[in-house]
Amino acid sequence: MKTAFITGASSGIGRATAVALAAAGFQLVVAGRRRERLDALAAELAPVPVHVLVFDVRDRGAVSVAVAALPLAFQAVDVLVNNAGGAHGLNPIQAGDPSDWDQMLDSNVRGLLNVTHALLPGMTARQTGFIVNVGSIAGQEAYANGNVYCASKAAVAMLTKTMRLDLLPAGIKVAEVNPGAVETEFSQVRFKGDAERAAKVYQGFEPLRPEDVAEIIAFMVTRPPHVTIAEVLVLAGAQSAATTILRK
């Protein structure tokens, strides 16, 4: 049984990816900050073997301790889905909050690196692995007030490309999925719990569901060895660009 390791698995795209990969025959390591949610996910996926790890990807020490302590049966990670991350604030740069910037850069960029760094020794030793980074249309397109979030996802895009170059000789594939508007906790987090403002983001059109992105990730990681789907941009049907959405 192959093993998939998913960060940010307590909600949204990460959780849906756990469900999709369990259905595709993987056993799972699900990582996140919220133990109760991860335990509930593990219970829901039974009898699929699921190991829960509770850490914040920003905490490099906690990440490496957790990975080093993985039970033997979950140590040989075949697929890593670097999903943890998010947006904090949506303001012009001159009105931005530096602690929001730190949080986005620390989770979306350094966090991805922390988890990747912890898992690469095993993957390179086994000469096999598949890393899927969850980027965003925001990493490909500038939009007003997106500043540091866009920059963090642009970093993910460039890391994906450079990691792909570095890691292919070690037998490891690296790919990226770039979602547009997906209805998750994303906007509630961005707007610091302002549910009304968050709901408006998805009003007047049908946004992507986390499951839509998860099934793409599952498809990407189950292609045969001679196929690499390196990048996918997935938008809502009513969306033609990051902030260009046909609303009714």
Q: List residues near ligand 8X3 by CB under 6 A.
A: 136-138, 180-181, 186, 242
CB of residue 24 vs ligand 8X3: minimum separation in angstroms?
24
Return d(Cα 153, Cα 166) in angstroms, integer.
20
Nearer to ligand 8X3, 129 or 180 (CB): 180
Minimal CA–CA distance to 2: which of 59, 73, 64?
73
Nearer to ligand 8X3, 10 or 136 (CB): 136
What is the 8-class DSSP label of residue 182?
A: B
Name residue 175's beta-bridge partners.
Answer: 132
Tokens standing for residue 158: 């460039």
CB of residue 144 vs ligand 8X3: minimum separation in angstroms?
11
Nearer to ligand 8X3, 13 or 120 (CB): 13
Is 149 catalytic? The answer is: yes
CB of residue 223 vs ligand 8X3: minimum separation in angstroms?
24
Q: Residue 12, by phi and psi: left (phi above 0), alpha (psi -120 to 50) or beta?
A: left
Nearer to ligand 8X3, 86 or 129 (CB): 86
Return d(Cα 50, Cα 65) in angstroms, integer.
18
Q: CB-based contacts of 152: which residues, under 8 Å, 6+ apart?
A: 85, 104, 105, 108, 109, 139
CB of residue 136 vs ligand 8X3: minimum separation in angstroms?
3
What is the 8-class DSSP label of residue 106?
A: I
- In this structure, the number of other CB atoms found within 10 A of the CB of residue 203 comes to 10
Candidates 26, 55, 130, 149; catalytic one: 149
Q: Catalytic residue positions?
A: 149
